Chains A and B, each alone.
Chain A
């Protein structure tokens, strides 16, 4: 696997992807006591950042330290191309809890959409003393991103890799990225139950993930695939935090008639069959699509929309379900 500056082997169908990661001084500001705004009790002492900060992925307060119970990252399984949930889920969190530090890890190596959705395409990943510095979205560094999209020389370069190479990069994303102090790490995965998913779970297992957020559309065809995803979670010992139904109905802007474009009811039915919580439905919203396309902050621009309400409600449920941090 090519590390920074190293050239990978050229195979028959492998393109040469050279990751040039310039070296800079990593200037991450540490903010002692930041979490105490949300948590009245003393926090568990943080040791090396690698071990203690890659956990608690999901909206909510800082991760817990209950005995025998550890927080864990969670990831969403996008079932539809058109709206990747990572953006949707991260949207409400900084608004609900402005001092949260959230990292988004994009392990969809073949189709990395996170950079575009956050308006961060063309940004570079730099190497610092502690590893690869993630891409920060704001001065407060409340949201940090990592995606293979930042490492490609050309945006249209195809990442044509077999499993072992993908596994190696995902491991690096978890262990070699200087995530710093994070409350949550949200991992956006491609569809399926394959190399990327297994590599992500293996890499995150030492940090005991909080759980998985599983996304479906209402159609039976989508639910049919997501049932297998739930089995995957069960077999790999990952708790399912809940099911979210995306693309749930479209309200015509001309006549306000609501149409179930992709059928209806699949998400609730799936959650009921699997015995997991149904967290909510997100409607089809062209304004959300446009915001994702253009990398704008949908939450800030459309706080009155039904989609905002849906996203916030789901985020709130996850917040409420996250174990609290105990002394």
Chain B
């Protein structure tokens, strides 16, 4: 995958191949011929590949550090507790692939028999290797993940994304456009600084016609292990996710409190549910996972009714 010029107008723009910044680019002739404007054949190939994947869920957030990867990993763990369900977890955070560490994987792609993981982290030879890629190269990798990975029969494909609304998000929505994404789960913390970016994320979802399963408020309250009293480390100064969800008419799937054991288990690469089955955070996760499953089942039955009618 070659690097593109820094001021590349984009392969699907009107100036593709004709702009001054296109001079010297190896793809100039291709873009000028209008080939960039035609639909990517990979989209159809991915659609074929995704026929064996029943439900596709994106995990998004506007802000970094809100617990997206942690949530994705525990969503995968929670769904995989049913041995009859095949789960796949795809990490498209190319620059910061934390899923291998959170899932406790060292070169292995299978956590359990029914839970498989794919991440660029597996392709790096050293934990210090940095992936310093611009957008087009990242898009190529995401295309490969979706098209060239043998997913097999999967009930749930969970896609963990980097924060923001950028190349990776556009690409994954574009490539899965024909394959039908069930919906997006958006993670936030109670702070307005996080919520203001989540509003942008919700706007992004609406713009690209991506259904929103709901919002999860993470790090919502902390119970002191000594005195058992609750504190708000990240105070919801503007009403938290609940008020935002009411304003934007988006479901609030649940609130997950801060539990130091979550961080510790992620560092060890274990499932938090096993270490702390009675923690309020575990109960919150399980309730949220159940709501996500209900949403997916409802969508599936609606589509089947539509096909049959």
Contacts and interface: CB of A to CB of B under 8 A. Distances in A.
Are chains A and B native binding partners rather than an unrelated pairing?
A: yes
Given A235-B130, A257-B225, A293 B166 contact: no
B193 A254 contact: no
B133 interface: yes
A229 B65 CA distance: 15
A2 interface: no
B263 to A, nearest CB: 5
Contact of A253 (B173, B231, B258): B231
Interface stretch (B44-52, B143-151, B199-207): B199-207
Interface in A197-213: 197-199, 202
A71 interface: no
Contacts of B290: none
B129 interface: yes
A166 B135 CA distance: 10
Contact of A13 (B8, B14, B174): B174
Interface in B126-172: 127-136, 138, 162-167, 169-170
A235 B133 CA distance: 13
Given A158-B201, A192-B96, A263-B267, A110 B227 contact: no
Contacts of B173: 13
B33 interface: no
B95 A290 contact: no
A78 interface: yes
Interface in B226-241: 226-227, 229, 231-235, 237-238
Contact of A225 (B98, B138, B191): B98
A110 B12 contact: no
A96 interface: no
B267 A81 contact: no
Contact of A228 (B131, B134, B197): B131
Interface in A227-254: 227-232, 235-236, 250, 252-254
B219 interface: yes
Nearest to A250: B233
Contact of B127 (A167, A168, A227): A227
Contacts of A277: none
B199 A156 contact: yes
A260 interface: yes
A81 B194 contact: yes
A193 B131 contact: yes
Interface centre among A13, A15, A78 (most CB of B within 10 A): A13
B67 to A, nearest CB: 9
B131 A81 contact: no
B263 A263 contact: yes
Given A159-B165, A230-B128, A286 B235 contact: yes
A290 B237 contact: yes
A68 interface: no
B280 interface: no
Interface in A252-309: 252-255, 257, 259-263, 284, 286, 289-290, 292-294
A110 B163 contact: yes
Given A11-B13, A289-B234, A252 B134 contact: no
A159 B197 CA distance: 10
Given A260-B260, A286-B233, A293 B96 contact: no
A110 to B, nearest CB: 3
Nearest to B164: A110
Contacts of A122: none
Contacts of B118: none
B78 interface: no
B12 A11 contact: yes
B226 A82 contact: no
Contacts of A81: 61, 63-66, 163, 189, 191, 193-194
Interface in B198-221: 199-201, 203-204, 207-208, 219
B200 A159 contact: yes
Contacts of B61: 81
Contacts of B189: 81-82
Closest 7 CB pairs of A and B: A110-B164, A163-B135, A80-B65, A81-B63, A192-B95, A81-B65, A231-B130
